[in-house]
Amino acid sequence: MTSIPKHLQDAKTLLSENGFATGDTWYHGTSSALIDSIKGQGLKRSGDKALNQAAVKTMATIGNNYTESVEPVFLTQSKELAYYWAQQTVRERSVRFEGEEQPVVLEVNLSEKQRAKVRPDVGAMSLLMMSVGEQFMAHLAKVYQENKIAGPDIDLRTADRMDYLNKLGMAYIDEDISRACLVELSESELSKPELSEA
């Protein structure tokens, strides 16, 4: 696991005994390979078309009918956690696609009406039971530890739904997000390039 770029380290300001504080801004981790498409269309539900098509092809080869489900747009209140998921996206894509991809974190500035539609991602429970989830929980434990906070002590099966948001930093919105709401976070935070200007 590469270290988290300095400009994305926000756990120390967000994390307390109650978990990650939530503000008006959300974050989404993705791969540099998807940025041009996001600049054109915004964040779409079930956004990674190439990866979805690859999964359909794989299932077809083994004689399985694979129906794509519409995934919501996944969000987190922490740049640091968004970077973790961006790394996972890059790793997942590298298995199927050639090329150098980099983790990218997007700042998501939703309208008040949209912010009210952001939900704790309780559906992540099934993901967290798998090895990818175990890796995330281990990573999360390290983040808590580095900030001298015990946790996250959570039983995924019986946890309160808000624990998924507060303690695990997992949320989603079940609608597409327009490009005008998105800013790519680069190291020069002062000159934040608006995606819509590209």
* Average pLDDT in the chain: 84
Q: How many residues does the chain have?
A: 198
Structure tokens given for 176 = 């597409």
Q: Closest Cα to residue 80, out of 169, 160, 178, 192?
A: 169
Q: Could you tell me which of 118, 117, 122, 119 has the C-alpha nearest to residue 154?
A: 122
The pLDDT score that the predictor gives to residue 127 is: 82
Cβ neighbour number for residue 13 with a 10 Å cutoff: 11
Res 161: pLDDT: 93
- CA-to-CA separations, 38 to 44, 135, 147, 177, 179, in angstroms, rounded: 8, 27, 33, 10, 7
Q: What is the pLDDT of residues 114-130, one digit of tens each?
A: 999 999 999 888 888 88
Cis peptide before 5 (omega within 30 of 0): no
Instruction: For residues 50 and 96, give the distance between their C-alpha atoms in angstroms, rounded to a whole number.
Output: 9
Residue 60 identity (one-letter amino acid): A
Q: What DSSP element (H or E) covers 105?
A: strand 103-109
Neighbours of 87 (CB within 10 A): 18
Question: Mind listing the pLDDT tens digit for each residue in 33-76?
Answer: 889 889 888 998 865 455 445 455 545 566 666 555 678 899 99
Kindly state the tokens that stand for 98: 């050639």
Average pLDDT over residues 179-191: 77
Identity (one letter) of the amino acid at 34? Answer: L
Give per-residue pLDDT as tens, 46-56.
654 554 454 55
What pLDDT does residue 197 have?
44
What's the token pair of residue 34? 């998807």
Average pLDDT over residues 140-165: 91
Token pair in block for residue 69: 């489900």
Q: What is the mean pLDDT of residues 163-180?
A: 95
Structure pTM? 0.83
Q: Which amino acid is at 142?
A: K
- Beta strands 19-20 and 15-16: pairing type? antiparallel
Provide CB contacts within 8 A for 125, sequence distance 6+: 156, 157, 164
First to last CA, the chain: 31
